[in-house]
Structure formats: structure tokens, C-alpha cells
Chains A and B, each alone.
Chain A
Amino acid sequence: MSKKLLLKNDHIEGIHTLPIYRANGGYSVLEKALKTMSPEAILEEVKTSGLRGRGGAGFPTGLKWSFLAKPEGVPRYLVCNADESEPGTLKDRYLMERHPHILIEGMIVSSFALGAKTSYIYIRGEYFYIARILEIAIKEAYEAGFLGKNIQGSGYDLDLYVQVGAGAYICGEETALLESLEGKRGNPRIKPPFPAIAGLYGCPTVVNNVETIAAVVPILEMGGAEYAKIGTEKSTGTKLISASGHINKPGVYEIELGIPVEEFIYSEEYCGGISGGKKLKAVVAGGSSVPILPAELILKTSAGEPRMMSYESLGDGGFLTGTMLGSGGFIVMDEDTSIVKNLYTFARFYHHESCGQCSPCREGTGWMEKILLKILDGRGDMKDIDLLWDIQSKIEGKTICPLGEAAAWPVAAAIRHFRSEFEEYIQYPEKIRDIKHYYRLQETATA
């Protein structure tokens, strides 16, 4: 049975407009929260709900909110992370494009709970047209008295702004995002201090993903305890999954956490099976940063249990035989896919996106891209596989921000599970000459 909270009104024409959103129960949570609940009571509901951050790391939202420092006379900020640049992830775009008001309502009640008087939605620059949609919805909300001074007579004031970025994956990392919002280069900051203590303009700040903030609306509507009954004990609620690659029905699906991976891939309700009737080869389950798993390990854990779409089940087996739910970017590959070439697209991505502050990340991502290129180009050496392994292991844990790890993990997992494919490329270089466009590899590397 599907359970929809965020996308329950997906079929309703015009739901992006305020009148239709309201006619379908929209902004009733805001009225309830601002008129009948204290900020502490809202925080309690969010804690009880078990909601975990939907941006990738899965950190408990209530706990994060409780860390926010509240020094007297210092402003606090809520910043929504709408940078969504993790390859394979498109769910925030979908939600904001079709349901801008659920995000805005979530921003208002969350800002109220945190005591923020000014909040920002930082959206990647490429999503300009969605920034427009949000701005129109925000204007509607101001006109209806849901934003601005003395919201609905509650005495609470809030201003909400949309801020566009300009193309940089790293600005999804929360401290880089704050730097960018301050009008600087997106270089991540050294932590501590954490944003909860010193964030935007040095003031206490909470950064949350679009989906996390939107989820606060159904949580307050039904109560944290009811929300916690959905999903599994450690993965409560619903999750938006972005499905892409070799499947019959790519798109964004809201699932109840804990459904079997097999059902997600093969049922008509979701991905509808592998396109062209082919066999499944591998899945990247949570966006480009998480370890790739071969078909047998994504469908079943190493103990032979069915694998579920939840934080704990996808993580079962650690990185040896498991992966992560991450951002929910679910990329499916059929039997004919070249794992080495797919990895190359990731390595090129991370090299391109490294901010360059830390040498293990700046140099390591470049070397990994070069070596993979060399292998794809038919000039690989068996020693290159070990060298790749060595480089990725020297990035992990040695950088300012987790982009280093995000670049290392896919390389480690591809070698771990598909080493023989790398060996084949090296032993039979003529094979890869069949791969179309291999000439392009050289030129993109030198570009």
C-alpha cells in the first residue's frame, strides 16, 4: 500500500497556487501551530516523529534543532537547502515545482519553532525557473498574511527570501552554502564551530533540506507519534525517491520507508521494471556518493534477507556488502552497462566539483579521473587498480568536508564489487574500443 503525505495532492490541478492549496487543507497547520502551539511543543513533535534529515546524511531533525544556540539579542536563521546537485537526485525540484506552498508552510512553522525572523531558501542557480515559482508563491503567502508582520495575529514576524546560487555542487554542503549566501566562494568551513552556534553571518543557523522542512507540515498535522508509526522504527515516515537510469518509469515516487527494494524496482506502481526486458546489473541507491551494489546485493542482504528501502536495511552490511539511503537518488543500470565508464562519469564530476581547498580531495579526484580515463582508453595497467584503491583510501577522513569521501566511496565500491570488469578492460583493451565515443574521453580530460 502506498502512503502519500508530501505528494498526496499531486493529481490536483493548480495545487501550486495558494487558493487551491488552501482549499485542500493547506496552511491549516500554520494556523494551528502559530495559534495553539509553543515553539517547544513543535520541537517535541518533530523529535517524537523520528524525522531524519532528507538531504543525505539522515541526521535526526529534532536533535539538530535542539542544538541551536539561543543567545539573547542575536538573530537566528533557518536556511533551506535547495541546492540539489547530487547526481541522480531530482526530488526537491519536483516538490518545489508542483508543491511550493508545502515548502513555504514548512518554512514558516519551522522558523517559528526555531525563533528565526528571517529565513532563506538557497536554490541552485540552474533551477531559476523554480525560483520564480517559489517567489510567486511567497508573494501569495505575504498577501494572505502568512508572511510578514504579525502573521495571522500571532505576533510572530517572518521574512522569507529565495536566494539563487550559480552552479557549484559543493554549495550543497551546508557551510559552503552559507559562504555562498554571504556572497563568497563556496569553500566549506572548518567545523567546529557548527552552524547551530555560528552559521549565517556568524549567527546560530539551522540548515535543512527541502524535503525535511516540507515533512514538518504532515508531522504537525497528524502529530509526531502518528508519523512515527509510518515506515520502520529507525526510518519513520515517507521518503521521496528519485528513480532514473534503465527503468521503464523514471521519475519521483513517494514511498513509505521500509518497502522491499525489489518491489520498488519491479512493481508497476514504481519503476515498472528494467527497460527493454533486460536484466538488472547494479544500483546506486542514494545518489552518486553512495556505494554501488550489484543486483544480488541490492535485492538481498549478504545474509539473504530481502533488502528494504530504509536507512538501516540499505546500510546493512556496512560498506562491504551494503550501501546508504543517502538523498534517495536511485540510479538503475541494466546488464549491458559499463561500470567502469559509469564510475568515470562520477570521478569526472567530483574532480570538477572539488572546491580545491584540501590537497587529498583536489589532487586525488584529479588522479582518479585520469587513471579511469587511461583504463577506458585501453592503456590501463593492473597496477592502476591498486593505485585507484590507494588514492581513494588516502582521501577518506582527511578533508575539511565530506565531498572527499563522496568521491572516494564510489571508486572503492566499484572496485570491491566489479574488480573483474576493471581487469577485463585492462587485459582486453580492444574490447573497449567498441564503446562508442571513446575518443571523447581524451578530449574531455584535457578540456
Chain B
Amino acid sequence: MTTTEIQFDSETLALVNNMMKRYPEGKHKSALIPVLHIAQAEFGGWLSVPTMDYVASVMNLKPIEVYEVASFYSMFNMHPVGKCLIEVCRTSSCWLRGAEDVIDHIEKRLNIRVGETSADGMFTLKAVECLGSCGTAPMMQVGADYHENLTIEKVDTLLEKFKDENKQSRYC
């Protein structure tokens, strides 16, 4: 695997510069979270120190301002993750409708435990808190997509699909 060059292409850079203009004079730091989302999606699905430093330089912020924000929010991965990040909700409503069976099944299928990445680097499994899908529980999020009313069969079909597509999951 080669290391991705940490540099937005000109189109993304234009988008980022535009984003910073949404806010009043001198308040462009407001764009930090949206920009971190883009950086995470562009540079391998997680926020390495060089990635955060790059964001700091693009936004004219101190690196520490970026680190402290990145580490606060659960959607920002501070460690490498598999190509496909599977996030299964484990909170009450999903638990009541079988979220643990879903998690169990994925663990067995992929031969990993919650928090781990499969040996081939394809999948990371994460248990997350309520995603506002309690009425269609159990559910999981992969990239921007919600997969709801899960059954074991549905999970199997989805895992096959992700494997075939071999795409990096991204929120944006």
C-alpha cells in the first residue's frame, strides 16, 4: 500500500475555501468539522496527524485546535479503520429488537470482535449509540447509508455486497 499524498485536489480545495466563507468575517473556524469530514473521507477513512496538520494549514489554525476537536467527536477515527466501517447501534430500542444478535453474527462472519479490523483490512466493526433509527431497529450505518430492520439474512447479503463493491465507506 502506498501512502496517500495529503493534499486536496483543486476542486476540493475550492469547496473548502467556499465553506469557510459561509461564516462571518473572522469566524471561518466554524468550517472545521465539515472540513475534517472531507479530509477523513479523502485520506483513508481516518485522521492521521499529518492529515490534521494539513487541515490546520489549509484553515490557518494551530494544529492543537484541530487535534482537540477531532478527538472529541465519535465520527472522527483517530486510528486506521478497514475500508468498510460497519457501525451497529447498540442502544435501548435496538437492543430490545435484537441488536446483540446482529453484532454477534457479524463478529462470527468476519472473525473479529467489536472494535477490531478484519485481517484483510476490509472491515472494521464498531458498536455505536442511538442513530435515530429506533423505529426501524435493529440497524447499522455504513458510510452515509442507513440499513434498517436488519435480519441475519439481510446482514449476510449486505456483507457480500460490501465485499464485492470493495469501496471505502464514506459519510460525505
Contact = CB atoms under 8 A, between A and B. Distances in A.
B133 A90 contact: yes
B132 A183 contact: no
Given A182-B27, A183-B33, A165 B129 contact: no
Contacts, number: 155
B136 to A, nearest CB: 7
B83 interface: no
B134 A88 contact: yes
Interface stretch (A123-131, A358-366, A367-375): A123-131
Interface centre among A85, A166, A180 (most CB of B within 10 A): A166
Interface residues of B, number: 49
A345 B90 contact: yes
B130 A85 contact: yes
B126 to A, nearest CB: 10
A263 B92 CA distance: 23
B86 interface: no
What's the interface size class on A, roughly? 35 or more
Contact of B75 (A125, A129, A180): A125
A126 B75 contact: yes
B132 A126 contact: yes
A167 B96 contact: no
A157 interface: no
Contacts of A163: 30, 33-34
Interface in A389-447: 436-437, 440, 443-444, 447
Nearest to B75: A167
Q: Which of B29, B137, B171 gathers most chain A CB within 10 Å?
A: B171
Contact of A444 (B22, B104, B127, B146): B127
Contacts of A251: 135
A284 B104 CA distance: 26
A126 B131 contact: yes
B147 interface: no
Contacts of A245: 92-93, 96-97, 134
Given A161-B22, A166-B73, A167-B73, A447 B93 contact: no
Contact of B96 (A125, A165, A342): A342
Contact of B132 (A84, A342, A444, A447): A84
Q: Which 8 A-B residue pairings sit nearest by Cβ, starting from the closest?
A: A166-B73, A167-B74, A167-B75, A183-B29, A244-B134, A183-B32, A87-B130, A244-B93
